[in-house]
Copies of this chain bind each other. A is one copy, B any other.
């Protein structure tokens, strides 16, 4: 038994190297990193984290600090499914979504990291062991860039080894979006995987109009065309727009993904391990997608998520975008010829630079 003796949360506000923007969140100047360290009686430690785009990290921190520690200490860290259920139901009335699921994601990630470390196995093997190399794309947050700046950023991403790229759409006029997508396709050439992300900007009809306008440019997917709550709307956009739809970064439960997938609303389910409830539900979402004959992609936290997509047979197109978190991680993820490499270090293999983080408090 790996008895839990401490659950130690942290909350850090990390300024971004450059201000980012998308169609929904406006300018993002900093992100919040919420960490969770779980220590067992043998002295082993697992580390998990979640993040926000700048607000409400304090609520996730409060749940970790005030509830999860008290609930988890004394129990067996190896019984992850059991612990997940305990925390889910203990906070169900005042939880079940929102920052509580972000907190649960960080805690669950720490438990899996701890298990991997105790067993001496990297997560991608522990969770299934399909292939340590995963196709990967550069996730640009670039809605405000001029076309020239967008292409310059893209040239930089090609130099970094990326062989797939995602851009933002959702500008004030659809014509501007179409021109940007056209320019990107011309620059990248036919067949190069190109995705576009609308960050929930549109109505159903606007999304269908946009998807149809993008059809000549062969998008791998159009992401989050509408608000995440409207499952029937996703199905309509997918059907009438004629472009594959990706969605999931704003869904918070396995059940949400079941609704989205079963309704035909997305052919690229896109969970985020830091906000879908952790590694435990993320893997279930991968397997749910497989059962529906769909690939699974990802949002955020690529250093951990590379393991999860490498574990299963249907993992494709890891999103590589970390808000500059790599400045606080000892060995950031490697990308070779467009493929992200899951490390062979035990657990997820991420070691935070706690001293550098402490200076941000």
Which chain A residues have a beta carbon within 8 Å of chain B's beta carbons?
A: 24-25, 32, 52-53, 55-63, 65-67, 89-103, 227-232, 250, 252-253, 255-256, 259, 262, 275
Contacts and interface: CB of A to CB of B under 8 A. Distances in A.
A91 B229 contact: no
A99 to B, nearest CB: 5
- Give 8 closest A-B pairs by Cβ, nearest first: A97-B97, A98-B98, A56-B94, A229-B255, A52-B94, A97-B98, A59-B59, A98-B100
Residue of A91, A228, A231, A275 with most partner-chain B CB within 10 A: A91
Contacts of A97: 96-98, 101, 252
Contacts of A102: 94
Contacts of A227: 255
Nearest to A28: B93
Q: How many copies does the complex hold?
A: 2
A57 to B, nearest CB: 6
A256 B52 CA distance: 23
A254 to B, nearest CB: 8
Contacts of A56: 63, 66-67, 91, 93-95, 100
A36 to B, nearest CB: 15
A90 B250 CA distance: 14
From A55, A59, A255, residue with most partner B Cβ within 10 Å:
A59
Given A52-B94, A53-B94, 5 more contacts: A55-B90, A59-B59, A59-B99, A98-B100, A232-B262
A202 to B, nearest CB: 15
B91 A55 contact: yes
Contacts of A91: 55-56
A59 to B, nearest CB: 4
25 contacts: A24-B89, A25-B93, A53-B94, A55-B94, A56-B67, A56-B93, A57-B94, A58-B66, A58-B67, A59-B98, A60-B94, A62-B62, A92-B250, A93-B250, A93-B275, A94-B102, A96-B97, A96-B250, A97-B97, A98-B98, A98-B100, A98-B252, A227-B255, A230-B255, A231-B259
A57 B92 CA distance: 12
A328 to B, nearest CB: 19
Contact of A94 (B24, B90, B99, B256): B99
A255 B59 CA distance: 23
A211 to B, nearest CB: 22
Contacts of A52: 93-94
A99 B104 CA distance: 13
Which one of A61, A94, A229 has the highest number of Cβ atoms from chain B below 10 Å of its Cβ?
A94
A333 to B, nearest CB: 22
Contacts of A228: 96
Contacts of A253: 229
B67 A55 contact: yes
Contacts of A275: 93
